[in-house]
Amino acid sequence: MDDESPGLGLDLPEQPQKPADASPYRVLARKYRPQTFAELIGQDAMVKTLGNAIERGRIAHAFLLTGVRGVGKTSTARLVAKALNCIGPDGQGGPTIDPCGVCEPCRAIAEGRHIDVIEMDAASHTGVDDVREIIEAVRYASVSARYKIYIIDEVHMLSKSAFNALLKTLEEPPAHVKFLFATTEVNKVPVTVLSRCQRFDLRRIPAEKLSEHFANVARAEGVEVEEEALQAIARAAEGSARDGLSILDQAIAHGEGKVTADQVRDMLGQADRGRIRRLLETLLTGDVAATLTQLDETHSLGIDPGSLFRGLMESMHSVTRAKAGASADPLQSAEEREHSAELAARLSWGNLHRLWQLLLKGLEDIRIAPDPQEAATMALLRLIHAAEMPDPSALAAMLAGGAAVAGAPSVPAAKPAAEPKASLPLDFAALVEAVESQGKQLLGVQLRDHVGLVSFAPGEMVLKPLKPLGADFSRELAAAAKQATGQNWQVRLTDEGGSPSLQQQEAMAEERMRAAVLEEPNVRALLDEFPDATLESIERKEA
């Protein structure tokens, strides 16, 4: 073989050489992971508590960090490890809330290579054997650090036996050992473990702080991002810095040197909202044929019925917020905001609540139905027809007033409580009204609630006390009746006979009216649709 011939005698193309200083790309969520407590956004209360504990030497042996994904639980655990093991640039420092970041322990912990800071993922180390290794190792002193620190992520994934094995060591660990637990589901952590830890609940990061943080990251990356785009990303992140940075990373790759709000909305799948708005408009017009046609179009495009209903519910939520005067969603375009404001002006609160409940019921039907598309069809038809019905309070008022309702039996209007006043009251109720008109309100309450009528005639009445009355009741009533009518009255009390009090009679009349309303087919249909709904008093509603 010729010495000048390469390898196997093949003329291989020259391989491009990687620059010596080239490094693999790091996603923004890792690149901008906080390295100091000052960089940890949205957790000021926790940082203050930890700072005070370290300053006063009241450092617990176990910490539990809980919160939704991406708020900084693991980052905080690493920062605590640095704070407890920092020795300062001169090697003489002690525990501090502001670790220097340049000493060997700080750099080793930041790079994940410190021998005395052990990180374990409980999702892949769930058994008692994994915990037994920790129990055996804690007996030995740390190699080079001030404290041996165990960071256990997603600690709720440990098995019951693993938790039980950890309890005694967790309660009385050696002085050189600290435990830092992180979890997104604190309700799955046994109470026996919670009672042995100092718990810190990391809050969702406010959208305005996330937007400001993302703006700083964009400037550091040399990328121009619209303010509205930053707000949309912060809104979509739902309080998670990591999720927001991942979205921003994707948006930068999606754009061409500049990130716009329209690009972000398109990237997040907001482009189909126009189809959702058109379907909602068609539903509200009651056009059955057009609604089914649009539903079939979404099915042919591969849109999941559940996703479709969730989109409709998002639109209804936006309309409700617009009607309440709340600030607009940053994820919405100007067109969507105008549409929400227009529907808010058209729909009443009753209609909004009824539509929301029907959509929620439809989403549940889609989830359990054998054919989700069929369930979506029936749910939309139910929504169209139910939207045409009056709400229960309006229907009750119509029935009480004798108004005709489609499909409802005729209900006569209630008779007035009393005939027009003559010179003398014609019945006991009219006399009570006459007495009350003279300013005798307390006596009127007694006549309505505390007595039953035995007999009544002009100038004479016999009453049965239903509750204790004063000794002068008969005399006071005779004087008040004379003042109201200009005629002498005889009042006699007896313990025999007697009808229910006027207040009891009114309650029974209201109950009869309520029963008549509840038996009306349209009202029954509404109550079947909303099992938790109740019919309020017609008198209170009208008032």
Predicted pLDDT at 415: 39
130-139, 164-173, 502-511, range with the lowest pLDDT: 502-511
439: how many CB neighbours lie within 10 A of its CB? 11
Q: Tokens 């054997």 sit at which residue?
A: 129
How much is the mean pLDDT over the chain?
81
Mean pLDDT of 435-459: 84
Model confidence pLDDT, tens digit, residues 325-369:
877 666 666 777 788 888 888 888 888 888 898 999 999 999 998
Q: What is the DSSP letter of 41?
A: T
Q: Cα dist. 91→94, 145, 295, 380, 386 in Å?
A: 9, 12, 70, 71, 75
461-474 pLDDT, tens digit per residue, is 888 888 888 778 88
> Do 257 and 292 meet the contact criterion of CB atoms below 8 Å apart?
no
Residue 407 structure tokens: 């499909």
- Laid out side by side, the sheet with 490-493 consists of 451-457, 460-465, 490-493
Residue 479 CB contacts under 8 Å (≥ 6 apart), including other chains: none
Structural contact between residues 184 and 154, judged by C-beta atoms closer than 8 angstroms:
yes
DSSP-derived secondary structure letter, 197:
S
Per the model's pLDDT, the better-predicted residue between 255 and 148 turns out to be: 148
Distance, CA of 190 to CA of 354 (rounded, Å) = 41
d(CA 252, CA 229): 11
- Per the document, the length of the chain is 543
- Pairing type for strands 177-183 and 198-201 reads unpaired
Q: How far is CA 260 from CA 84, 219, 338, 493, in A?
A: 43, 15, 20, 86
Q: How many C-beta neighbours within 10 Å does residue 46 have?
A: 20
In degrees, rounded to 5, the angle at the alpha carbon of residue 295 between the alpha carbons of residues 289 and 296 is 90
Tens of pLDDT, residue by residue over 31-65, are 888 888 888 888 888 888 888 888 888 888 999 99
Q: What sections of 6-89 are H helices per DSSP?
A: 28-31, 44-55, 73-85
The distance between the two most distant Cα atoms of the chain, rounded to a whole number of Å, is 144
Q: What is the pLDDT of residues 225-252, one digit of tens each?
A: 888 888 888 888 888 888 889 989 888 8
Distance CA 203, CA 68 (A): 8
Query: DSSP for 288-342?
Result: HHHHHHHHHHHHHTT--HHHHHHHHHHHHHHHHHHHHTPPPPTTS-HHHHHHHHH
Q: Closest by alpha carbon to 291, among 220, 384, 363, 198?
A: 384
Give phi and psi for 126, each to the nearest 5. Answer: -95, -15
DSSP per position, 126-155: -SHHHHHHHHHHTTSPPSSSSSEEEEEETG
Cα 332 → chain centroid: 20
Tokens 């069809």, residue located: 377
What is the model's pTM? 0.56
Q: Which pLDDT score is estimated for 25?
A: 79
The answer to whether 188 touches 156, Cβ cutoff 8 Å, is: yes
Domains defined for the chain, CATH in brackets? 28-201 (3.40.50.300), 207-267 (1.10.8.60), 270-387 (1.20.272.10), 428-504 (3.30.300)
What's the average model confidence in pLDDT over 163-169? 90
Q: How far apart are CA 243 and CA 245, in angstroms?
A: 6
